[in-house]
Every structure is written in structure tokens, then in C-alpha cells.
Amino acid sequence: MANKTKDRKGSIIDVQPLRSSEEISEFRDALKVAGKTARGDFSNRNLLLFNIGVNTGLRIGDIVQLRIEDVKGKSKMKISEGKTKKVRTVELGAIMGDIADYLEDEPNEGYLFPSRSGEKPITTTQAYRILTKASDLIGRNDIGTHTLRKTFGYHYYRLNKDVATLMEIFNHSDQATTKRYIGIREDEIAASLKDFRI
């Protein structure tokens, strides 16, 4: 099931979205701290990886494959999603400033998130490690690469209440799957039972 994944120790975890602006802010702060290592400061890279994920709903496999020329100075881009091969237009207007700041001293082409060699992008495993290192700092064990996509979906739904469009963005087969994936169904059930008493 999409809500379950294995952590670094092989235990099954229930990956969740970041449901509040406070949780998102706390996680961004953790990414900044976790990005400062003995090998260098990767906090800006880690923050942009996160910001692209939570603002576009792209899968992590598609995010790590992005190239500078795909996003630099652009308010939108077309992408052929790796898993579904579906062509999708992705809006970047809200994060153009983040992208411009990150690329200020970078070349005009190449991978947006290059590996140390620069010839390939970081892997999805490396992206997972970036996220879980930050989640460890704030004592959370329900964060994974799907957290970014789920956070996008959760907040998109909360703002627009448009599950049909979100279902299309995620390429899900039905609305119930989409609501379950983003954790909204859980919230709805909890809310319906909050004051329930017989």
C-alpha cells in the first residue's frame, strides 16, 4: 500500500504528510541543520528538493532527474513522469525565487541535484536519507519520500476541496484512493468520531 514503506532498519512505517504550516516550518529548519555536514553545506539543496516536492506533487524519482535547463527562469515545465509516462505541466511560479536563489552561481545546464561526481543526479535512496536525517532531528518516524507528494496533496485538497483534479494529478484510479493516500480519509473519520458517544 502507498501509505506504507520500510525504514532504514526494515520496519514498516506509515508515511504521513506534514499537515500544518508549523510541521512544514519545523521540517525545513531540520533540513537546514541536517544539511550541514563535514563534507559541506547541503542545506540549500535539501531545502529546494523539499520545496519542489511539496509544491508540485512530483514523485521523488522525477524530482531527482530534473535538470537545470528544465526549471531555470521558468514558471512552468512539461515533464514525462517516470512511473506513468504521463506528460504533465508542472507549475513552478510559486517556487521560482527558491530555484533562482539555488542556481545563482550555477551553470545553465546539468542536473539540478547532482551527485558528487556531477555526472549523475543524486539517487532516490540519497533523497530518502536526506529526509530521514532531518526527521530524526525532530523525533518523527513517519517521514519518507512520499511525504513530499502527500504533503502537496493534503494541502491542495484542504485549500481547494477538489479531489477529482488531485486524483488526475496523481494519476489515481479513484477518489477514495487519493483521499486515503493523502491522509484526508483518516482526518475525516477522526473528525466524525471526535464527539461521538452513545
All 3 cell numbers of residue 161? 476541496
| Marked catalytic residue, from 9, 83, 85, 194 | 83
| Marked catalytic residue, from 59, 140, 150, 179 | 59
Question: Residue 149 catalytic?
Answer: yes
| Marked catalytic residue, from 146, 150, 155, 179 | 146
| Marked catalytic residue, from 45, 140, 149, 155 | 149
Question: Residue 78 catalytic?
Answer: no
- Give the end-to-end CA distance of the chain in Å, rounded to a whole number: 34
Question: Residue 59 catalytic?
Answer: yes
| Marked catalytic residue, from 45, 155, 172, 179 | 172
Q: How many CA atoms lie within 13 A of 198 on its CB side?
A: 0
Question: Residue 83 catalytic?
Answer: yes
Dist CA 121 CA 111 (whole Å):
6
Question: Residue 133 catalytic?
Answer: no
Strands 76-80 and 40-41: unpaired
3-state secondary structure of 81: coil
Dist CA 134 CA 52 (whole Å):
17
For residues 18 and 151, the answer to whether their CB atoms sit within 8 Å is yes
Question: Residue 172 catalytic?
Answer: yes
* Residue 10 backbone zone (phi > 0: left; psi -120 to 50: alpha; other: beta): left
Active site residues: 59, 83, 146, 149, 172, 181
